[in-house]
Structure 1
């Protein structure tokens, strides 16, 4: 009976290949969604926690940091 369980492996392998091929075209969209969700979480939790007296200055530093990150991403990718 142990050998019979091995008969399913090629079928499961083909199903896995089909899933990987389908996910390959969806990967950029999934990563974009994940990045957007992370940016939302960061801005939704970090910005309100900034002290009121430094809110404007801190907001500008967050924006500048994001711009620098995007420049580095474009420059090195």
Structure 2
């Protein structure tokens, strides 16, 4: 299933923000910043990426339901997608 970029605008924005956060974490490591601050920022990046992933899956499910494809959804594949984010 293909998803429309317009439907994923929030996920794209979240991932772009996470990309900036990750660059900041790398910079912090290179500059010898405090370990606690680095780990805190790294956790924020991880959470942002996870939320984007769940949002993308949710958007796909909504699209399937709205297009009447819900009967064709492979539940095992969907479960694997969700578990890959945990």
Tell me the TM-score normalised to structure 2 length: 0.41
Tell me the TM-score normalised to structure 1 length: 0.44
Q: Which has the larger radius of gyration?
A: 1
